[in-house]
Structure 1
Amino acid sequence: MHPLTLLQREAEALDLALHSVEVLRGDELVVSATNPPLTVDTPRRTYSVSKTVTGFAVGLLVAEGRLGLDDPVVRHLPEHSPVHPWTGGTRVRDLLSMQGPHRATTYDRAGRGWVESWFRVPPTHRPGTVFTYDTSGTHVLAALVERLAGTSLTDYLRPRLLDPLGVSGSFRFLTDPEGVSQGGSGLVCSPRDLLHLGRLLRDGGRTDGNRLVPASLLREMTTPHADTSLQAWGAQLAGGYGHLLWLPVAGGGLMFGMGGQLVWTDPARDIVVVVTGDTQACPTGDHRLIDLLLGELGGAWGEPAPGATAASPGALSWPAPRHEPDHARPLVGGWAFRAGDATVTIDLDLGTDGGTLTRQTDAAGGIVTLPLRYGEPVRADLLTSRGGALPGDGGPGTVVVTSGWTAPGTLDVRCAVVGEVLATLVLRLVTGPDGSLTVQSRGYGEAVDPTWTFVATADAS
């Protein structure tokens, strides 16, 4: 059986949404599968894959002689002095290897002063000693790059790396409130862009015979600098950490972003595997996906499956409620629910084949209308949401809605948000004989408004 078939089967069992899967073996693209309407050129948030890209930028500055790995970080951002001695003694290489002085990210994503927070929050331990995953440390590195380069992270990388690789114009970093590129989590690019970056890493920093990345930089990135055996994120990630690159037990290097954004490169197998998706509806879903992709299926990507051919685009499918047509019924009306301190109103205009679900909340002032077509996915424009009703409202993105009547009087709806943020929204609506409606609603994703998660019953208004 083709490994892609096994991957999709396991993803369905775990309730993981796969958006794209591409596998490059040598120079041949042996798998290219997408989940319509997404394509391999659809820009989307890659979260902590950003860290490896920031690592490339830092390494290039070192190669240009403009930065030293043993430089104290505060030397290049002196406006944040004075600092705690442990913070002041933190070197560039400590942040590259996730051995900084903080046990966790220091900034508040909804607040200001992201860079400053790293210098102001008291450190918990001496730097260069233990592995502690800290996104704010990589954000500080991005600020350092932009300070030394005199331009944005993307513009610094564009002529040196991105253009020679053929990376698309959609490649960009979101910025923090002060305008600093989110080098730890803000990269927006396409799956095909990730394939180009993975190929560069697999091929030792060369493309088309030209060296873009010094061999010394690649050695630093792929050499274990931190012991990750105490992390609890899955067996594969216990292999070690280089310079902003995971070194999995299976071999090679792994760029890993929240929600299942993965780029696995293995020179020994001569492969690059790129997976994008959203695993947030499954507890520890991204780590389970890594262990599946690199562990059970790891060896299969490097060898042609007997009688198997490359999967064509459109081979993936969205997680969807099952639909029993006999249970479908027209349903028109409005109901108001309490969700914490907020009021959530749901208006339904449903026939036997589908219709619309409109959700409004007084807390966020937001309104969103989801189109429903039972038994098949429906694409909607993210901009149909107003006032923050959907994560990422106001920015480019795509919403895919699946729905179905799963039992008498029970309608399940699932909404995937793909763009500058990733989110999964799940609703179960159960009708009562008296016209009441019970709603169980859950939102998964760091930017999801809390009012998406509630359970309540309301009478028809």
Structure 2
Amino acid sequence: MTGTAWTSAGMSEPATARGRQLRERGMDQERPTIDTWQDPPFNRWTFSHVDEFVTSVSISTGRERSQKAVNDLDAFSGKVPELERRLAQTWTDVILVVHEDRIVGEWYGEGSRPDDRHLLMSVSKSICGIVVGALADDGLIEPSRTVAHYIPELAESAYGTATVQQVLDMTVAVEYLEEYADLNSHVRAHDRVAGWRTRFDTDPRDTHEFLMGLRPAGEHGKVFQYCSANTDVLAWLVEVVTGKRYHEVVGERVWSRLDAQSDARITVDSSGFAFANGGISCTARDLAGVGRLMLAGGEFDGRRIVSDGWVRATMAGGDPEAARGLPYQDIHPNGSYKNHWWATGNERGSVYAVGIHGQYVWLDPPTRTVIVKFSSAPEALGRTMNSDHARLFQELCAALE
């Protein structure tokens, strides 16, 4: 990365106290590194330039079209209070609202453009859920079978006796600490192995070896445990049953069938294995196609991508009791997780995909609305931020009724 690129594009902070303070302290003169690119203030720029730090490959759509910004939220004027302030407060880079397959609201923050690919973080997991569903539809994957049935290399790991469905629903009992700020956590080691941070000499060689080393932590299928490793197990499974690399299957099975305007990108480790749990980058308009697909029961413009049965099961959600007592249910009391998607359990049947630092795809079935939001929040997680987003999305959807 050149100094010019960072100076001209990297510090396009919103007019907030944080942005002013950082500039006053001269932080705009620093350069992001492999160990700081995910941190503020750098993430404002790096989340749209991931492949300058981490090796990435294309998820092909077979086309590339230039897009123009609209920057128009007039449809919500007077209906959603203090919208501009709330977008700034939640560190918004892009927000896009699609109602009945038509864009009705779109806003790009300073330095963001429609052609920019933005890192999805764990929204990537929900795309993986669709891919696995499509392969299950074709009989290539049977969700009730154990992971070891398909991947013998994982027989002695935590995943050996877990079923594919338990992996999809995150009810695998595995020793895996998903604490992003803990330098000694499993998720940090996972990042290092994937090439997202500087490797330690003691780290596994690649993601396959890392997954084989994860140990069981109880009985599977009883308790919801959010674990990013689960998604990479599914990606490995996808490669085994198709004989192709994960990114190729996503391109063939999903991206090329969504009429996406441009290729997506996904980071890969030293062996070329994709970081399926968080490594996809794409444009907001293309990601909206994933939401449209779900609201249309697995079809996109008349093309079947995944079965209606798979989508209905996903939208219905999982077992709320499996997540009982978790902070998620402070916001969504009947919330659950199914097929790598979050179900709110609210009266509207809203379902969503979410990634750290504020990445969202929110689905509102009654109004057939998809909301895509890209953000560069300074913290990875925050209960207040999650509830702020939920309220904002609900108000945007209500304004379209």
Task: Give the Cα separation in 2 of the matches to 1:43 and 1:247.
Answer: 26
Deviations 1:21-49 (A, max 9, x none): 11111133110110132123211211100
The structure-2 alpha-carbon separation of the partners of 1:246 and 1:2, relative to structure 1 and needing over 3 Å to count, comes to farther
The residue matched to 1:24 in structure 2 has which SS?
strand
More helix by share: 2
Alignment-derived partner of residue 192 in structure 2: 110
| Aligned pairs for 1:11-160 within 5 A | 11-12=87-88, 14=89, 16-81=90-155, 83=156, 87-104=159-176, 106=186, 108=189, 109-111=191-193, 112-160=205-253
Task: Give the Cα separation in 2 of the matches to 1:237 and 1:177.
Answer: 39
Where does structure 1 differ by over 4 angstroms across 4 or more consecutive aligned residues? Answer: 1-5
Alignment-derived partner of residue 397 in structure 2: 301
**Alpha-carbon offset, residue 284 of structure 1:** 3.9
Alignment-derived partner of residue 8 in structure 1: 84
**Which segments of 5 or more consecutive residues in structure 2 lack a partner in the other structure?**
1-76, 179-185, 194-204
**TM-score, scaled relative to structure 2:** 0.69
Task: Give the Cα separation in 2 of the matches to 1:22 and 1:191.
Answer: 7
| Aligned pairs for 1:139-288 within 5 A | 139-227=232-320, 228-233=323-328, 235-238=330-333, 239-250=335-346, 251-281=349-379, 284-285=381-382, 287-288=383-384
The residue matched to 1:241 in structure 2 has which SS?
strand
CA RMSD of aligned residues (A): 2.3
Contact in 2 for aligned 1:43/1:170 (Cα 8 Å): no
Task: Give the Cα separation in 1 of the matches to 2:78 and 2:128.
Answer: 35
The residue matched to 1:125 in structure 2 has which SS?
coil
The structure-2 alpha-carbon separation of the partners of 1:11 and 1:34, relative to structure 1 and needing over 3 Å to count, comes to closer
**Alpha-carbon offset, residue 267 of structure 1:** 1.3
Task: Give the Cα separation in 2 of the matches to 1:168 and 1:103.
Answer: 40
Contact in 2 for aligned 1:234/1:291 (Cα 8 Å): no
The structure-2 alpha-carbon separation of the partners of 1:118 and 1:78, relative to structure 1 and needing over 3 Å to count, comes to same
Task: Give the Cα separation in 1 of the matches to 2:122 and 2:171.
Answer: 16
**Alpha-carbon offset, residue 229 of structure 1:** 3.3
Q: Which has the larger radius of gyration?
A: 1
Deviations 1:81-121 (A, max 9, x none): 4x15x632100000100101215354612133323333322
The residue matched to 1:256 in structure 2 has which SS?
strand
Amino acid at match of 1:268: P
Task: Give the Cα separation in 1 of the matches to 2:117 and 2:272.
Answer: 21
Task: Give the Cα separation in 2 of the matches to 1:237 and 1:117.
Answer: 33
**Alpha-carbon offset, residue 219 of structure 1:** 2.3
The structure-2 alpha-carbon separation of the partners of 1:297 and 1:257, relative to structure 1 and needing over 3 Å to count, comes to closer
The structure-2 alpha-carbon separation of the partners of 1:43 and 1:31, relative to structure 1 and needing over 3 Å to count, comes to same
Amino acid at match of 1:6: E
Name whichever of 70-79 and 54-63 sits farther off. Answer: 70-79
The structure-2 alpha-carbon separation of the partners of 1:304 and 1:280, relative to structure 1 and needing over 3 Å to count, comes to same
**Alpha-carbon offset, residue 249 of structure 1:** 4.2
Amino acid at match of 1:294: A
Alignment-derived partner of residue 55 in structure 2: none
Contact in 2 for aligned 1:167/1:196 (Cα 8 Å): yes
Amino acid at match of 1:75: H
Tell me whether 1:291 sits opposite 2:367 in the alignment.
no
**Sequence identity, in percent?**
24
| Aligned pairs for 1:372-411 within 5 A | none
The residue matched to 2:399 in structure 1 has which SS?
coil
The residue matched to 2:337 in structure 1 has which SS?
coil
Contact in 2 for aligned 1:40/1:190 (Cα 8 Å): yes
Amino acid at match of 1:95: V
The residue matched to 1:235 in structure 2 has which SS?
helix
The residue matched to 1:121 in structure 2 has which SS?
coil
The structure-2 alpha-carbon separation of the partners of 1:103 and 1:226, relative to structure 1 and needing over 3 Å to count, comes to farther
**Alpha-carbon offset, residue 4 of structure 1:** 6.2
Deviations 1:129-148 (A, max 9, x none): 10000000111111110121
Name whichever of 209-218 and 49-58 sits farther off. Answer: 209-218
Contact in 1 for aligned 2:367/2:400 (Cα 8 Å): no
Alignment-derived partner of residue 314 in structure 1: none
Alignment-derived partner of residue 421 in structure 1: none
The structure-2 alpha-carbon separation of the partners of 1:55 and 1:155, relative to structure 1 and needing over 3 Å to count, comes to same
The structure-2 alpha-carbon separation of the partners of 1:2 and 1:258, relative to structure 1 and needing over 3 Å to count, comes to farther
Task: Give the Cα separation in 2 of the matches to 1:76 and 1:297.
Answer: 39
**Alpha-carbon offset, residue 204 of structure 1:** 1.2
Amino acid at match of 1:18: T
Task: Give the Cα separation in 2 of the matches to 1:100 and 1:168.
Answer: 36
Amino acid at match of 1:36: E
The count of residues paired between Structure 1 and Structure 2 equals 299
**Alpha-carbon offset, residue 125 of structure 1:** 1.6
Work out which structure has the larger RCO, using CA pairs closer than 8 Å and 6 or more positions apart in sequence.
2
Alignment-derived partner of residue 457 in structure 1: none
**Alpha-carbon offset, residue 254 of structure 1:** 0.4
Deviations 1:233-256 (A, max 9, x none): 473455111110000244321010
Task: Give the Cα separation in 2 of the matches to 1:76 and 1:284.
Answer: 34
Name whichever of 185-194 and 112-121 sits farther off. Answer: 112-121
The structure-2 alpha-carbon separation of the partners of 1:201 and 1:173, relative to structure 1 and needing over 3 Å to count, comes to same
